[in-house]
């Protein structure tokens, strides 16, 4: 047999005109895997936002494929349309490591899809010697089969398959108008019938996701789970993801329940609540801008909404409408709350000596050495991520001065702790910015300190609990009458 790969701008070809031969593998052995990189000539039509197709033929050696009645072939586009990812540059020097788009492409709208080059083409041939029941052929495989009649027996020719799951977004390249040649890596490996059927179903599932409105980025995340991950790592991913979502739900539920019943801010750092709200919103916007996995993005968005609501509760804000104009009022603090605020202010005073130099230095380092899309994320995300744990320290200081942790929402903390350690695993599995990975390990340190304070300051029933009341003040229940 012989394997031939042609390229053309037409989706249907009937002869050898207007096609280019880019790869010819003589004495093709279906049992032997290989990988070859070839340069493909890019026609002017394709450079002008057009499409280029690859025709892969498996045919008898020494015979042109369109002269061979027993040839099998499959067609795959080598281009796809996507909105170009905004270029990341050094905000001071203007230097960029990403592919430069020509002036006429840069002047076009950023939301206009342009042609991207698929730099990989992965081929498979099913090698299992399997006899099918002609009356009940599996539908998934049947569409890839070509039948021939030999005497009284119907035979199927070798099943040729293109692995579309291996086409990842990270391998795509923008096609410039000045580009005349682009590299194409053609790889081949045999495939069993079981894996072939599984891969067909996975490709159909990814296609269905896109039909239901999922973006190319989201579909690519699903591809990566199956292509870039081995079986055991894949099972761990699903197991960890299920528990992460469960603990996220339980943490949100208990956090809302705690703050809904809370009537006093005794022992709670108001500044820590404000900072947590600010940092959560900034992190959510940063993850949204970086097109992070939805598994990370959705919980971050829900958390941002909850933190905004907690600020309203912490500041005792009420909104009254005077016609169409809202009027915001803040509640008064009692003596115990004012004492907590003094500790809070004292903690921020000590913290500022370390905080401001570190945040300014971190932002300056990011500005000089890290590439961002916008100044907004350069300044804010560097401070939020690199030194966000510093703003968790006021609550630790308040706990130390009051010698109590009874006012903290320990149920929500427990679930968040489980998620903190799960995030450590996710940091190596899920697509996320490096700064967000470091933040996962940062939270481990803070929670360990909270646990130490929990052990150091056991709950005193005479102190106020998380709802602003003490156990001794709880009214006794009336005896039940028989």
Looking at 171-293, list the stretches that DSSP marks H as alpha helix, in order from N- to C-terminal side.
Answer: 193-211, 216-227, 231-261, 270-289
Q: CA nearest 264: which of 407, 458, 404, 398?
A: 407
What is the enclosing helix (H) or strand (E) of 20?
strand 20-25
Tokens linked to 261 = 């019943």
Cα 444 from Cα 172, distance rounded (Å) = 37
What does the pLDDT profile of the chain (482 residues) look like in tens digits? Answer: 899 999 998 877 765 667 889 999 988 998 999 999 999 999 988 888 889 999 999 999 888 888 888 899 999 999 988 777 655 555 455 555 444 444 444 444 456 788 889 999 999 999 888 888 877 788 888 888 888 888 788 888 999 999 988 888 888 888 888 888 999 999 999 999 888 998 888 888 888 877 776 777 777 777 777 776 666 777 777 777 777 778 777 777 877 887 787 777 777 777 778 877 887 887 788 777 766 666 677 878 888 888 888 888 888 887 777 777 777 777 777 777 788 788 877 877 777 777 677 667 766 766 666 555 554 555 555 555 545 555 566 777 777 777 777 777 767 667 666 766 776 666 665 555 565 566 666 667 777 887 788 888 776 555 554 444 444 444 445 555 54
Query: Phi, psi (5° rounding) for residue 37?
Result: -110, 125
**pLDDT value of residue 183:** 92
**pLDDT value of residue 441:** 66
* Count of other CB atoms within 10 angstroms of residue 218: 15
**pLDDT value of residue 463:** 52
Counted residue by residue, the chain has a size of 482
DSSP assignment string, 94-163: --B-SPPPPHHHHTS-TTS-EEEEE-EEEEEEE----PPPTTS--HHHHTT--EEEETTEEEE---EEE-
**pLDDT value of residue 433:** 58
**pLDDT value of residue 102:** 45
Tokens linked to 132 = 């099918």
SS3 sequence of 456-467: HCCCCCCCECCC
pTM for the model: 0.57
Tokens linked to 404 = 């109590």
**pLDDT value of residue 24:** 92
Torsion of CA 17, 22, 28, 32, to 10 degrees: -150
Q: Which residue has the tokens 């690519």?
A: 220
**pLDDT value of residue 369:** 63
């Amino acid at each position: 047999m012989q394997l031939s790969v042609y390229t053309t701008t037409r989706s249907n070809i009937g002869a050898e005109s207007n096609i280019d031969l880019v790869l010819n593998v003589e004495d093709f052995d279906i049992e032997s895997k290989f990988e070859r990189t070839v340069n493909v000539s890019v026609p002017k039509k394709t450079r002008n936002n057009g499409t280029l197709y690859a025709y892969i033929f498996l045919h008898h050696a020494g015979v042109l494929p369109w002269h061979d009645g027993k040839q099998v072939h499959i067609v795959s586009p080598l281009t796809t349309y996507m909105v170009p990812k905004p270029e990341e540059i050094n905000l001071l020097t203007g230097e960029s490591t990403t592919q430069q788009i020509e002036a006429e492409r840069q002047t076009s709208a950023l939301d206009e899809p342009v042609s991207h080059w698929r730099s990989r083409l992965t081929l498979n041939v099913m090698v299992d010697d399997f006899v099918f029941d002609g009356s009940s052929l599996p539908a998934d495989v049947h569409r890839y089969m070509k039948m021939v009649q030999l005497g009284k027996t119907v035979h199927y020719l070798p099943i040729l398959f293109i692995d579309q799951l291996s086409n990842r977004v990270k391998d795509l390249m923008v096609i410039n108008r000045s580009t005349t040649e682009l590299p194409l890596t053609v790889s081949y490996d045999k495939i069993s019938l079981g894996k072939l059927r599984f891969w067909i179903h996975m490709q159909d599932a990814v296609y269905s996701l896109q039909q239901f409105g999922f973006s190319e980025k989201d579909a690519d995340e699903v591809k990566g789970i199956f292509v870039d991950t081995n079986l055991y790592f894949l099972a761990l991913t699903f197991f960890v993801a299920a528990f992460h979502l469960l603990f996220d739900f339980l943490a949100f539920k208990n956090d809302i329940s705690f703050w809904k019943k809370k009537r006093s801010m005794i022992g709670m750092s108001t500044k820590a609540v404000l900072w947590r709200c600010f940092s959560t919103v900034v992190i959510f916007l940063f993850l949204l801008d970086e097109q992070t996995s939805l598994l990370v993005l959705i919980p971050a968005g829900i958390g941002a909404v909850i933190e905004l609501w907690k600020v309203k509760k912490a500041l005792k804000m009420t909104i009254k409408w005077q016609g169409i104009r809202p009027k915001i009022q803040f509640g008064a603090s009692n003596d115990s709350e004012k004492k907590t605020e003094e500790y809070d202010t004292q903690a921020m005073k000590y913290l500022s000596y370390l905080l401001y130099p570190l945040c300014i230095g971190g932002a300056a380092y990011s500005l000089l050495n890290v590439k961002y899309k916008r100044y907004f994320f350069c300044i804010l995300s560097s401070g939020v991520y690199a030194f966000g744990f510093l703003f968790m320290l006021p609550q630790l200081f308040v706990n130390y001065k009051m010698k109590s942790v009874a006012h903290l929402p320990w149920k929500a903390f427990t679930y968040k702790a489980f998620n903190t350690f799960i995030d450590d695993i996710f940091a190596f599995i899920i697509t996320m910015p490096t700064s967000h990975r470091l933040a996962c390990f940062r939270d481990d340190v803070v929670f360990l300190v909270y646990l130490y304070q929990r052990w150091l300051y056991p709950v005193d029933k005479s102190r106020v609990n998380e709802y602003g009341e003490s156990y001794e003040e709880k009214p006794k229940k009336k005896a039940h009458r028989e």
